[in-house]
Chains A and B, each alone.
Chain A
Amino acid sequence: MKGASAALPGGALGGRSLRGRFTDGPRDIALALLSIAGMLVIWQLTSTLVFRSILFPSVTQTAAALGTTARAGILPRDISVTLFRVLAGFALGSLGGAVVGLLMGSVSIVRRFFEPYLNFFRFVTPIAWIAPATIWFGIGETTKLFLVVYATIFIVLVNTMAGVAHVHRDRIRMAQAFGARPWQVFRYVTLPTSVPFIVTGMRIGMGNSFMTVIGAEMLAGNNGLGYLIYSSRIFFRSDVMFGTIVILGVFGLTADRLFDLAQHRVLRRYRAR
């Protein structure tokens, strides 16, 4: 506390927090940990002393429910099922989005031909397609894959096209001046410039995929984390719901951090200035 109050009045520190990105100093990390610990204590106390209800499980009950479902093998199965759906659909959607996006971005006639549909379909929320998809493919794996692909492909596609449009004219001219053929211009200029845009699209697409797969499993599923949450409702197992929600948050956060890492470390050489 003393350290915190000493750091606060310093104008320079306050200033840096405005300018800097997420400059996590040791004080910030300490505060964050303190805040998490405080929240857990408050949660535990309110659920055991103030709102004693089956509808509001405590921290320990939630943890116990996670332990029970994990030991019974329900949780590992549902986690692997949901992760498989997300990853498979996401990979297919990203690949499709990047390829079609590069094509549409590079070839003007293809872009003009398909742009109206792109602009229409990307505003149809993926969950709405669960209705036609269940009619066509049933309630099996194909429906969920279709929805996750749909949730990913458009955002990656639009971002990829933006990336291709972002390529500086002078860079293309320079490559051409050095005698590059159209394919070489694409390979050495257009593609590297679009990479950060593609990755940004994939990052947003990953969030959409999680959102979609949970909805799909709630609406038409008999396994997966979305189904686990929704079926817990029937038995008033709010502790299982909370445990699953915590797991979903952890997965989402981990996936996003991995993308962050990829963007800043692996793809550094592609970063647009």
Chain B
Amino acid sequence: MYCGATVHANNRLLTTVSVAGSSRWARIGRALWDDHLNTILIYGVSLVAVLGCWQLAADRFHLFVLFPPPSTTFARLAGLILDGRLEVAAAVSLLRILAGFIAGSVIGILLGLLLGTSRTARALLEPYVHFLRFVPPLAWFAPVLLWVGTGELAKVLLIVYTTVFVVALNTMAGVIAIPRNKIRMARTFGGGPLQIFFLVMLPASVPYIFTGMRIAMGNSFMTVVAAEMLAANEGLGYLVNSGVLFLDTSTVFSGVIALGTLGFVIDRIFQSLIARFGGRFAPR
């Protein structure tokens, strides 16, 4: 209560932006505490219980090399963060993902819009899209290595491939799902084909495009980690794999924790993007 009152007093003094921020966080905190006390308690109990079981199991195991306890793992994680190795590895992996993901999304969106609007294009191209999306990206790793070598380009190309088909199919589904009446209405109001495309079809497929990109991002992680394990000397996949080579299991665990955290954070970002923009454009 006291905390809330302070925030409220600050409201009038500070600029609008920071006011919105602080009061919002305070409100969220209060709401969490009031409504979800139960949940927070269960989460706390659950966290303690699982960490305790992990520690006990590791102690019983007596093989710290193969199954490090949480204390060793988190010490190792902190060490990796402090000497900057984890950040560098994560940055390298993320840059690879971003480069391939952005290129793949752009191609995928364009391809999907084409497939969704032109029936002829769909009949001509759909067999390939459906066939290629079932070929795991990693299957292309060997030919790509032969074609462009083991450099950055190979990994980026694999991520482009991972992204394109998921985004294209989702974009196409979005265009196809546009209610007829929306297009009819735009036509009744005198909209030309270009206007209908930019003002009706494109906005209506935005939520589908985001959903496709969200799935593609998850798949990109899988591709980049495997590619880095097979042929790289940097990145999270390489970090994990080097842990295996030196039987340094706590590094392996740290890498896995970093991967999970990154994946979770990026997925949340996509979720909020979908909530922010998807709601406005949601098809009805």
Using CB atoms and an 8 Å cutoff, list the residues of chain A in contact with chain B: 4, 8, 13-15, 17-21, 27-29, 31-32, 34-36, 39, 55, 109, 112-114, 116-117, 119-121, 123-132, 134-136, 207-208, 210-212, 214-215, 218-219, 225-226, 229-230, 232-233, 236, 238, 241-242, 244-245, 248-253, 255-256
Contact = CB atoms under 8 A, between A and B. Distances in A.
B176 A131 contact: no
A32 B180 contact: no
B241 A131 contact: yes
B146 interface: yes
Contacts of B218: 123, 125
22 contacts: A28-B122, A31-B124, A34-B124, A35-B124, A35-B128, A55-B143, A113-B46, A119-B264, A123-B263, A127-B226, A128-B237, A131-B241, A131-B252, A218-B138, A218-B142, A218-B230, A226-B139, A233-B146, A241-B143, A251-B134, A252-B136, A255-B134
Given A113-B42, A120-B264, A27 B123 contact: yes
A236 B225 CA distance: 24
A1 to B, nearest CB: 12
Interface stretch (B14-22, B83-91, B254-262): B254-262
B146 A8 contact: no
B221 interface: yes
Contact of B260 (A29, A124, A210): A124
B12 interface: no
A260 to B, nearest CB: 11
B57 to A, nearest CB: 13
Contact of B137 (A32, A39, A131, A211): A211
Contacts of B241: 131
Nearest to B130: A253
B135 A249 contact: yes
A226 B138 contact: yes
A130 B146 contact: no
Given A113-B45, A210-B136, 19 more contacts: A34-B124, A55-B143, A55-B147, A123-B262, A123-B264, A125-B225, A128-B256, A129-B256, A131-B255, A131-B256, A218-B142, A219-B226, A226-B139, A229-B139, A229-B142, A230-B142, A238-B143, A238-B146, A241-B142
Nearest to A209: B136
A18 B178 contact: yes
A242 B143 contact: yes
B120 A8 contact: yes
Interface in B90-146: 116-117, 119-120, 122-128, 130-143, 145-146
A69 to B, nearest CB: 15
Nearest to B224: A125
B3 interface: no
A267 B281 CA distance: 32
Question: Which of A27, A214, A251 has its CB near the most chain B CB atoms (within 10 A)?
Answer: A214
Interface of B: 39, 42-43, 45-47, 50, 66-67, 116-117, 119-120, 122-128, 130-143, 145-147, 175-176, 178, 180, 183, 218-219, 221-222, 225-226, 229-230, 236-237, 240-241, 243-244, 247, 249, 252-253, 255-256, 259-264, 267
Given A18-B176, A248-B135, A112 B264 contact: no
A28 B46 contact: no
B136 A132 contact: no
Given A135-B252, A256-B134, A32 B120 contact: no
Contact of B142 (A35, A132, A210, A233): A233
